[in-house]
Amino acid sequence: MNHFDEASCLLYLDGQLDGARAAELTAHFAGCGECRALLHALEKESRLLGAALLEQDEPLPDSLRVVPAPTAGSSSWVHWVWALSFGFAASAVLIFWAVVQPLAEQLDQLGFQASSLLSAVFVSGALWEGWEAMFEALQYAALISLGVLVLAVWRPWRRERIAVAMTLLGIALLLCIPTAASAAEIRRGPNSGVAAGETVNNDLIVFGSAVRIDGTVKGDLIAFAQDLTVNGHVTGDVILFSQLARIGGQVDGNIRAFGASVSLDSGPAKNVIVFARHFDLDPRASIGGGLIGFYATATLGGKINRDALLFAGDTMLDGTVGGDVSYRGNRLEIGPMAQIGGSTRAIGQSRPEVAAGAKLAQPVDFEFQPRRPGRLGRVAAGTYVFRQILAYVGAFLAGLLLIKLFPGLFAAARKATQRVGSAMGVGALVLVSGIAVVLFAILLMIVGTGAGIATLMLYVPILYGAQVFVGSYVGDRLMHKNDTLAPSVGALALGLLILRLLTNIPFLGFFVSAAILIWGTGAICIALWERTRLNVAPAIPAVPAA
Partner 1 sequence: MTQPKAPERAIFQGDAKLADAIARVRAGDEEAWGELYRQFAPAIFRFCRRALPTPEDAEDATTEIFMKVREKLGQYDSQRPFSSWLYKVAANHCWDMLRRRHSRQDLETGDVETLPIESANPDQLSRLIDDQTNSGVRSALAQLPARARMVLVLRYYSDLTYEEIAEALKIPREAVGVALLRARQQLRRALTPQQTATHPATGDRS
Residues forming a β-bridge with 360: 340
Q: Of how many residues is the chain composed?
A: 546
Q: How many other C-beta atoms are found inside a 10 Å radius of the C-beta of residue 212?
A: 21
Could you tell me if 405 and 156 are in contact, meaning their C-beta atoms sit under 8 angstroms apart? yes
The reply on whether position 43 binds partner 1 by CB under 8 A is yes
Could you tell me which stretch among 37-45, 190-198, 363-371, 454-462 binds partner 1 (CB under 8 A)?
37-45
The reply on whether position 67 binds partner 1 by CB under 8 A is yes
- The phi, psi pair for 370, rounded to 5°, reads -70, 150
The reply on whether position 73 binds partner 1 by CB under 8 A is yes
The reply on whether position 107 binds partner 1 by CB under 8 A is no
The reply on whether position 41 binds partner 1 by CB under 8 A is yes
The reply on whether position 53 binds partner 1 by CB under 8 A is yes
Residue 12 CB, shortest distance to partner 1, in Å, is 10
Cα of 329 vs its chain's centroid, Å: 28
Closer Cβ to partner 1, 452 or 487, answer by number: 487
The reply on whether position 68 binds partner 1 by CB under 8 A is yes
The reply on whether position 443 binds partner 1 by CB under 8 A is no
Residue 407 CB, shortest distance to partner 1, in Å, is 5
Gap between the Cα atoms of 290 and 281, Å rounded:
13
The reply on whether position 108 binds partner 1 by CB under 8 A is no
Gap between the Cα atoms of 147 and 88, Å rounded:
7
- 219 sits in the region (left: phi over 0; alpha: psi -120 to 50; else beta) called left
Question: By CB under 8 A, how many residues form the interface with partner 1?
Answer: 55
State which of residues 18, 30, 56, 382 lies at the interface with partner 1 (CB under 8 A): 56
The reply on whether position 79 binds partner 1 by CB under 8 A is no
The reply on whether position 1 binds partner 1 by CB under 8 A is no
Residues forming a β-bridge with 333: 316, 353
Residue 327 CB, shortest distance to partner 1, in Å, is 56
- By three-state DSSP, how is residue 336 classified? coil
State which of residues 1, 20, 31, 61 lies at the interface with partner 1 (CB under 8 A): 61
Closer Cβ to partner 1, 15 or 363, answer by number: 15
Whole-number CA gyration radius for the chain: 33
Q: Residue 374: which residues within 8 A CB-CB, separation 6 or more?
A: 504, 506, 507, 509
Gap between the Cα atoms of 267 and 534, Å rounded:
59
Q: What are the start-end ranges of the H helices in 330-419?
A: 381-405, 407-418
Closer Cβ to partner 1, 35 or 169, answer by number: 35
Residue 96 CB, shortest distance to partner 1, in Å, is 35
- By three-state DSSP, how is residue 260 classified? strand
Q: How many other C-beta atoms are found inside a 10 Å radius of the C-beta of residue 79?
A: 11
Closer Cβ to partner 1, 342 or 407, answer by number: 407
Dihedral, 216, 217, 222, 225 alpha carbons, nearest 10: -20
Integer CA distances (angstroms), 39 to 19, 42, 342, in order: 18, 5, 106
State which of residues 1, 20, 30, 51 lies at the interface with partner 1 (CB under 8 A): 51
Residue 402 CB, shortest distance to partner 1, in Å, is 13
The reply on whether position 31 binds partner 1 by CB under 8 A is no
State which of residues 2, 18, 57, 507 lies at the interface with partner 1 (CB under 8 A): 57
- Return residues touching partner 1 (CB under 8 A): 3, 5-7, 9-11, 13-16, 34, 37-38, 40-61, 63-64, 66-70, 72-74, 76, 407-408, 411, 486, 488, 531, 534-535
